[in-house]
């Protein structure tokens, strides 16, 4: 599942809640308490009589005692706000049952039974978008993590694997297309109704069940697997969206071919369906043979989608397809093992995207996400290992730690083993555990044995939270360079003391005179401290370390600006070169915010940064995609992470001042680069994408140094744009300027695209993320806009997540930004708890913010915590954030 991500009441309607009650902590679930489920359910048949307001579900379960489980006189079937209509055991009414909360507990004396369970649900009332729900006249499901229990009573846990046979029936005019997991085995009509039967031959957990019924059209194609089997492919969308699905289909075919070539994985059904849904809590879901996607990750054409959208679609389609093996054929034993499927699959989609485009740029983008989201998570109150020890609400553990850090941990194994040996390890994993519900330990053992590695200490990455801080010092004596490394893993909640982690570091030592090195080396550092010696250096070399970002650590080194300028201009590792540019600017900005720079030193540092950036502009060996990365400034969030206590106001002011200074110093070079890039005609190749990237970046620099000219240039770019990337980039800059051009282009953009929900989302986001001084008032006004709704997660995220990620606005000194987000959480929680809980972490950073703002953030969290009837999702996030 791709994260973009329980109910307070059964249907999510606050008006149906009982009298207000004080929130109480949901029970803690601990990994060490895992036991196998006492019953096996090898087969399940489900009959659906479909309706938007009433769907009848008849589930027939084949139930057998599990010899691996503890004997139990009863079977517990999970439910969540559903009503039992009838229950039969072996063909007769079953009275030997009881309700335990939402769960149905049935006494079973024998070893083998057939249970028939009838439930009725109202999909139209399901605003939580979990289980079976209605979306714009169609029916669809989302069952990960615990949504299946909102459809029927069932042991809703990932280690219960069943084969599914499904019959769907409903009005043909209302639901002309009926889709489910697996292969379609039969269809028919009965008057105004019709039906379809589906069978998935591969055992799967309930979280992978999927159903879609609605009025849809398909882009159809086929793919022939490496064994010669032809697979039918369909991308289903609403009528009118079909012409924006070509890129999605091509991405799917590329994913299938890549997975065969790189990991040896072949698709295993006769059919692969993708359905685009506009109301969805996350990015997409890997249900077996029937992937359900947020429309954001399917629909694209140059007029409505940016280059980033195109890349996102390709990456997410790859991610969900790759889950067919790393998640479906081998699934999780329990939810503590979530990174088993998600971390591995994120790595696979990252490698795929790198092979499809620019590998260096993709690596930088992945690291930027890790540092911008996961590193703050690791240093805050919500820190947890990639394999947690406990949870209260599993939806809260679909985190950057589980996904992105999980991918980095597996990437480190690949780095230490080498690509060929790592492939042997993954082959062993797929062979050994196919058809099983496995654990993270199963994966590590397979890599260990297949690749011939000793990963005993490496397992600490799965059990310890926190980002290791690696101290680096390079000394030179005679002809010997000595590299001294130290490491420290900071305390995190529940883990005050940490053991050293094995850290693979790629490094190179450059000769200062020639600008060359003797080759890249890999050292694996697994102690509190260590020293490595390198002979044959008459002069002190320049160190390039953690090349390719070989380990997800924070490097702490006292390096002179001269060396950073050298690396920014001459390092042959693209990531290390990017890192040198980032370190140049970060070091200056942290010192400036801290008040540690005198006027002379400030001027010298700015001159060095400008010199390094000029070398980037004038380097003809660079393509513009990489040039754009090297010219980008570190984000305000990243800068705040470099400080024990951050002052968002001062960080913003100093960052904008540096941007203005660079815009003024390098104005001739920037103008020349813009003029060159503007001449590149539109296409989706790397050269044209790079040209569009640097154009918008240069207009943003101009906005800081010369707002009037920037407004003219941005308006010019907007008016001439023949694609969404150029148009959105220009409007992004204009949205932050107080100019006549801003108002006119914002109105034009809305009127041009008002019937396209995804582009209207962009319109909301551009304004909420802008640098305009009145952005808080703008967001309040947009909240009242007729197109805003709390019922659509995309629209909520478009406005409020963009706002929460806008440091200048969210951290307004009077606390209004915090109050607005707290108000949103309280209003949204009864409607869609998963989405509401996602807005808590920005407030949870209060310990790392200066005292005045910190107190206001804490007050906002306390106000949320005091509200009655909070969902489990939000309650856990808030209480952990408060500490």
- What three-state secondary structure class fits 706? coil
Strands, DSSP E only, in 181-250? 183-190, 193-204, 211-214, 217-224, 230-237
Q: How many CB atoms lie within 10 A of CB 595?
A: 8
Annotated active-site residue in 197, 286, 320, 408: 320
Say whether the peptide bond before residue 375 is cis (omega within 30 degrees of 0): no
**Bridge partner residues of 820 (DSSP):** none
Residues 359/410, Cβ–Cβ less than 8 Å: no
Residue environment code for 446-475, b if the CB has 16+ CB neighbours within 10 A, otherwise e:
bbbebbebebeebbbbbebbbbbebebebe
φ/ψ of 213, rounded to 5, equals -140, 125
Q: What are the tokens at 117? A: 């369970």
- What three-state secondary structure class fits 668? helix
Residues sharing a CB contact under 8 Å with residue 275, sequence separation 6 or more, in sequence order:
140, 179, 212, 216, 236, 237, 290, 291, 292, 293
Helices (DSSP H) in 217-358: which residue ranges?
246-263, 307-322, 338-356
Q: What span, in angstroms and rounded, lies between the C-alpha atoms of 315 and 348? A: 10
- What three-state secondary structure class fits 53? coil
Residues sharing a CB contact under 8 Å with residue 120, sequence separation 6 or more, in sequence order:
54, 55, 56, 57, 83, 85
Q: What span, in angstroms and rounded, lies between the C-alpha atoms of 211 and 232? A: 18
- What three-state secondary structure class fits 265? coil
Catalytic: 144? no
Q: How far is CA 470 from CA 106, 369, 498, 501, 650, in A?
A: 55, 20, 14, 10, 27
How big is the chain, counted in residues? 883
Give the single-character DSSP code of 490: -
Residues 476/539, Cβ–Cβ less than 8 Å: yes
Residues 145/396, Cβ–Cβ less than 8 Å: no
Q: What span, in angstroms and rounded, lies between the C-alpha atoms of 396 and 840? A: 11
Residues 28/390, Cβ–Cβ less than 8 Å: yes
Residues sharing a CB contact under 8 Å with residue 715, sequence separation 6 or more, in sequence order:
730, 734, 741, 745
Q: What are the tokens at 405? A: 């850090």
Tokens 């070079």 sit on residue = 669
Residues 334/29, Cβ–Cβ less than 8 Å: no
| Strand ranges across the sheet with 74-77 | 74-77, 103-107, 97-100
Alpha carbon 411 to chain centroid distance?
Answer: 17
* Residues that are catalytic: 320
């Amino acid at each position: 599942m791709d994260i973009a991500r329980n109910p307070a009441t059964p249907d999510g309607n606050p008006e149906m809640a009982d009298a207000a009650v004080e929130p109480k902590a949901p029970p803690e679930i601990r990994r060490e308490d895992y036991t196998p489920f006492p019953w096996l359910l090898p087969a399940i048949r489900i009959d659906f009589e479909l309706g938007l307001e009433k769907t009848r579900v008849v589930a027939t379960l084949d139930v057998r005692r599990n010899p691996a489980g503890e004997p139990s006189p009863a079977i517990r079937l999970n439910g969540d706000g559903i009503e039992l209509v009838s229950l039969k055991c072996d063909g007769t009414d079953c009275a030997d049952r009881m309700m335990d909360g939402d769960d149905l507990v049935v006494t079973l004396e024998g070893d083998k039974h057939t249970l028939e369970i009838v439930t009725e649900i109202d999909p139209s009332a399901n605003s939580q978008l979990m289980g079976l729900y209605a979306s714009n006249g169609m029916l669809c499901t989302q069952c990960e993590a615990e949504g299946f229990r909102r459809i029927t009573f069932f042991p809703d846990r990932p280690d219960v694997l069943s084969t599914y046979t499904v019959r769907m029936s409903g009005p043909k005019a209302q639901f002309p297309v009926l889709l489910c997991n697996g292969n379609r085995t039969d269809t028919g009509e009965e008057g105004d109704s019709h039906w379809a039967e589906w069978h998935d031959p591969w055992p799967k957990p309930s979280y992978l069940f999927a159903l879609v019924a609605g009025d849809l059209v398909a882009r159809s194609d086929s793919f022939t697997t490496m064994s010669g089997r032809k697979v039918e492919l369909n991308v289903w969308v609403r009528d009118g969206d079909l012409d924006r699905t070509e890129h999605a289909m091509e991405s799917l075919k590329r994913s299938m071919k890549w997975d065969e070539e790189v990991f040896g994985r072949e698709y295993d059904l006769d059919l692969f369906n993708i359905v685009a849904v506009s109301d969805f809590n996350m990015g997409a879901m890997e249900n077996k043979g029937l992937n359900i996607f947020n429309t954001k990750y399917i629909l694209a054409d140059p007029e409505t989608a940016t280059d980033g959208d195109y890349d996102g679609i390709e990456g997410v389609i790859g991610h969900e397809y790759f889950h067919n093996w790393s998640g479906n054929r081998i699934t999780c034993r329990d939810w503590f093992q979530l990174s088993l499927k998600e971390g591995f699959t994120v790595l696979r989609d990252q490698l795929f995207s790198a092979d499809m485009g620019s590998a260096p740029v993709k690596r930088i983008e992945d690291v930027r996400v890790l540092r911008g989201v996961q590193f703050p998570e690791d240093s805050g109150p919500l820190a947890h290992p990639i394999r947690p020890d406990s949870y209260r609400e599993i939806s809260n553990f679909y985190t950057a730690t589980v996904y992105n850090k999980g991918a980095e941990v597996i990437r480190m194994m690949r780095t230490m083993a080498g690509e060929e040996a790592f492939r042997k390890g993954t082959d062993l994993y797929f062979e050994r555990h196919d058809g099983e519900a496995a654990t993270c330990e199963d994966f590590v053992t397979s890599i260990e044995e297949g690749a011939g590695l000793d990963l005993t200490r490496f397992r600490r990455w799965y059990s310890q939270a926190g980002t290791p801080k690696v101290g680096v010092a390079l000394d030179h004596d005679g002809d010997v360079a000595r590299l001294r490394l130290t490491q420290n893993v900071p305390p995190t909640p529940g883990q005050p003391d940490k053991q050293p982690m094995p850290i693979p570091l790629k490094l190179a030592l450059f000769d200062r005179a020639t600008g060359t090195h003797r080759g890249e080396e890999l050292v694996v550092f697994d102690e509190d401290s260590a020293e490595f010696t390198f002979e044959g250096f008459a002069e002190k070399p320049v160190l390039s370390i953690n090349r390719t970002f070989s380990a997800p650590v924070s490097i702490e080194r006292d390096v002179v600006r001269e060396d950073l300028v050298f690396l920014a201009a001459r390092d042959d590792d693209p990531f290390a070169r990017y890192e040198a540019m980032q370190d140049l600017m970060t070091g200056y900005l942290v010192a400036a915010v801290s008040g540690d720079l005198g006027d002379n030193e400030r001027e010298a540092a700015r001159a060095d940064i400008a010199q390094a950036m000029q070398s980037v502009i004038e380097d003809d060996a660079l393509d513009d995609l990489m040039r754009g990365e090297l010219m980008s400034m570190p984000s305000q969030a990243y800068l705040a992470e470099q400080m024990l206590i951050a002052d968002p106001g001062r960080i913003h002011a100093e960052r904008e001042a540096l941007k203005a200074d660079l815009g003024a110093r390098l104005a001739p070079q920037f103008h020349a680069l813009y003029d060159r890039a503007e001449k590149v005609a539109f296409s989706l190749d790397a050269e044209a994408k790079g040209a569009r990237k640097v154009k918008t970046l240069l207009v943003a620099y101009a906005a800081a140094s010369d707002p009037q000219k920037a407004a003219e240039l941005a308006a010019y770019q907007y008016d001439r744009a023949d694609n969404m990337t150029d148009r959105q980039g220009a409007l992004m800059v204009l949205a932050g300027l107080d100019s006549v051009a801003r108002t006119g282009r914002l109105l034009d953009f809305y009127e041009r695209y008002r019937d396209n929900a995804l582009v209207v989302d962009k319109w909301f986001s551009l304004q909420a993320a802008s640098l305009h001084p009145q952005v808080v008032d703008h967001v309040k006004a947009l909240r009242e806009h007729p197109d805003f709704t709390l019922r659509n997660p995309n629209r909520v995220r478009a406005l409020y997540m963009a706002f929460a990620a806008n440091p200048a606005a969210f951290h307004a000194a009077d606390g209004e930004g915090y109050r607005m987000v707290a108000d949103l959480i309280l209003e949204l929680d009864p409607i869609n708890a998963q989405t509401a809980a996602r807005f808590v972490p920005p407030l949870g950073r209060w310990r790392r913010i200066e005292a005045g703002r910190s107190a206001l953030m804490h007050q906002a969290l306390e106000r949320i915590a005091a509200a009655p009837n909070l969902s489990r999702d939000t309650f856990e996030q808030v209480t952990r954030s408060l500490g």
